[in-house]
Chain A
Amino acid sequence: MKDIFVLIEHRRGEMRDVSVEMLCGAAKLGGTVVAVLLGKDVDAFAKKAAGYADKVLYVNDPLFENYNSEAYQKALSALVKEHGPGLVLIGNTAQGVDLAPALAVELGVPLVTDITALEMEGDKPKPTRTFYGGKLDAHFTMKDADLYILTVREATFTAEDPSKSGEIVKVDNPVTEDLSYRKFVEYVEPEVGEVDITQSTLLVGVGRGIREDKNMPVVEELAQALGADLAASRAVVDAGWLPADRQVGISGKTVKPKLYLAVGISGAFQHVTGMKGSEVIVAINKDPDAPIFGIADYGIVDDLFKVVPKLVEKIKELKGA
């Protein structure tokens, strides 16, 4: 089997977990695992990656101080052409999704994004991914090619302890062109609100099922009765019914309360990723197929507008007693 390239993702001095996960997953596929690291002053990441890879290809250049899809694409396509791997794994992250499709088009090789499981048939990947917000698994067969690119959803592979000591090979930056047509400016941190939901013990998470702004008191009363804070799925924040700092998920916050009571939340993986570490998860949703029931401890399949007011009553009774 030909080499497997794994793109190491890092940002602001941190190597992303998905990088180690992909290295560990790649090691199980057979073949030589090559960690590809583009960065500036990231020797520590090269050392870390070497613990999971047979080889680390490391480009140290100011061009890679911050992510730029054009710089990454040009460097990767040059390295791929030089070394001829059979498979390239890239995290299905804000970075990977920005990069991988353009890279695949440039190289003229097939790509499947956001994979959640992977089998190999010889050198050919047979990836699985989800459709319809996680309601179905879709199984794919890729076209015949010399190289395949996959973007891998976080937690698809399991990170294990380092067991290798790969050779670290520094290579010259293959990119010499002027890339000022796309230029990094700055990072901006999210605003800090009144409530820090990452510190909340009890959270009521509200999703699309609440339907309208004027229905928000339904969940506000529940939160009040419980002494919980309100958190939200992306849809509710997009609609402006709760501020952005209440958003839970990949593009929001990661929370680990004692109780996460998900009301009208379907459970798309982007949201689930941010709350699955909660001690007790309860879901109220009228759709019995909602993925949220797959990770909840307790569920009520019903109309939230019927259940939640009753639940508020019962909680008040219990507290009054």
Chain B
Amino acid sequence: MNMVVCVKRVPDTAESEVHIDASGKDIDKSRLSFGINECDNYAVEEAIQIKERLGEGTVTVISLGDKESDEVIRMALAKGGDEAIRLEDEAFKGGDGFAVAKALAAAIKGLEYDIVFTGALADDDGYAVVPAALAELLGVPHATYVKKVEILEPGKRAKVGRELEGGLMEFLEIDLPCVLGIQTGINEPRYASFKGIKQAAKKEIAIKSAADLGLDASEVGEAGSWAALEKFTPPVVGEMAEILEGEPEETAAKLAAILKEKGLV
């Protein structure tokens, strides 16, 4: 079975302060660290595990992004990916999930694939658009929030579990080829071995522009998006927490006293 995994390099903002830049449409990324989008990391692992379980097949890694995305691609190659394609063009910049899906679909159409894996959503924009939009563009079925994949018959059919609200799982059978949007927690992503990293460093990453993919600049990037970002603003929060000030010793004492007063200790 041939598998394609779409990965995205994103800034890690989970525990960092986020500052809107002068344009009002982006954030200051100079002090942020970057890495693979969390769901995508699980998607890479799932593809590699399926290849290992079946004992055959290839995993092609695709990313839309500039040269810096190579680090994310190479890490996926180091873990067991076979080939890599990076989609790079000024025209791709500022695209929403739909614009990204169009570029990915154009690149994937020329490949032989049984399953395309993507993350269920991206940590930065949180659109959750790519898997279902990509499937529709490719004309294949899809499932999102996938937390279990069982290949019933290689190249023909799979059984997948989707995570619904409240921890409920929905199982469905789906024909291959298909697109699966992978949710975190489906597996345990491995660390790349030193040997794998060395081998991956030598692998070629094919670079494709919009023109290479037969796409007009008006179809992709900001021009090809469903909506335009006007501006970022700090979130409107309700009443903020009463922040307890001081050294850890003091703040801990203040909090303990509050819990006591409220009868919680």
Contact = CB atoms under 8 A, between A and B. Distances in A.
Q: Do A and B bind each other?
A: yes
Interface of A: 11, 66-70, 93-95, 97-102, 104-106, 110-114, 127, 129-143, 181-190, 202, 208-209, 226, 234-235, 237-238, 240, 244-245, 247, 250-254, 258-259, 266, 280-283, 285-291, 293-303, 306-307, 310-311, 313-315, 317-319
Contact of B265 (A98, A129, A318): A318
Given A101-B98, A104-B98, A70 B141 contact: yes
Nearest to B131: A101
Contacts of A258: 264
Interface string B115-152: 00000110111111111110111000111110000000
Interface in B1-36: 11, 13-18, 20, 27
Contact of A302 (B120, B135, B248, B264): B248
B241 A293 contact: yes
7 contacts: A111-B226, A112-B226, A137-B233, A137-B235, A143-B225, A202-B264, A251-B165
Q: Is the contact region of chain A dominated by helix, strand, or loop, or is it mixed? A: mixed
B232 interface: yes
A136 B27 contact: yes
A105 B98 contact: yes
A146 to B, nearest CB: 14
A142 B225 CA distance: 9
B211 interface: no
Contact of B252 (A287, A290, A295, A314): A314
A234 B230 CA distance: 31
B209 interface: no
Given A185-B172, A294-B238, A297-B241, A311 B256 contact: yes
B141 A113 contact: no
A189 B165 CA distance: 11
B201 interface: no
Interface residues of B, number: 84
Contacts of B164: 11, 94-95, 187, 251
B254 to A, nearest CB: 8
B173 A301 contact: no
Given A136-B27, A240-B188, 4 more contacts: A98-B162, A101-B131, A132-B124, A282-B259
Q: Is the contact region of chain B dominated by helix, strand, or loop, or is it mixed? A: mixed
Contacts of B206: none
B85 interface: no
Contacts of B256: 311, 314-315, 317-318
A64 B35 CA distance: 41
A317 B233 CA distance: 44
Interface in B152-174: 159, 161-174
Nearest to A245: B167
Contact of A298 (B120, B168, B241): B241
A186 to B, nearest CB: 5
B171 A280 contact: no
A61 to B, nearest CB: 18
A102 B135 contact: yes
A19 to B, nearest CB: 13
A276 B136 CA distance: 37
A140 B228 CA distance: 5
B252 A313 contact: yes
Interface in B229-259: 229-238, 240-244, 248-249, 251-253, 255-256, 258-259
B143 to A, nearest CB: 7
A136 B234 contact: yes
A131 B125 contact: yes
A134 B131 CA distance: 22
Nearest to B249: A310
A138 B234 CA distance: 9
B60 to A, nearest CB: 23
Contacts of A245: 167
B251 A300 contact: yes
Nearest to A97: B128
Contacts of A99: 132
Which interface residue of A98, A106, A184, A298 has the most chain B CB atoms within 10 A?
A98
Nearest to B174: A182
Task: Give the 10 A-B CB pairs with smallest separation, nearest first.
Answer: A294-B237, A190-B167, A310-B252, A299-B241, A110-B226, A314-B256, A238-B185, A296-B241, A101-B132, A181-B175
A311 B13 contact: no
Contact of A283 (B14, B128, B241): B241
B262 interface: yes
Contacts of B129: 101, 111, 113
Contact of B230 (A97, A141, A190, A286): A141
A99 B145 CA distance: 12
A71 to B, nearest CB: 11
Given A11-B164, A252-B167, A138 B232 contact: yes
Contact of B235 (A69, A186, A234, A291): A291
A254 B168 CA distance: 13
A211 B264 CA distance: 27
Contacts of A105: 98, 101, 132-133, 136-137
Contact of B259 (A184, A244, A259, A313): A259
A18 B120 CA distance: 21
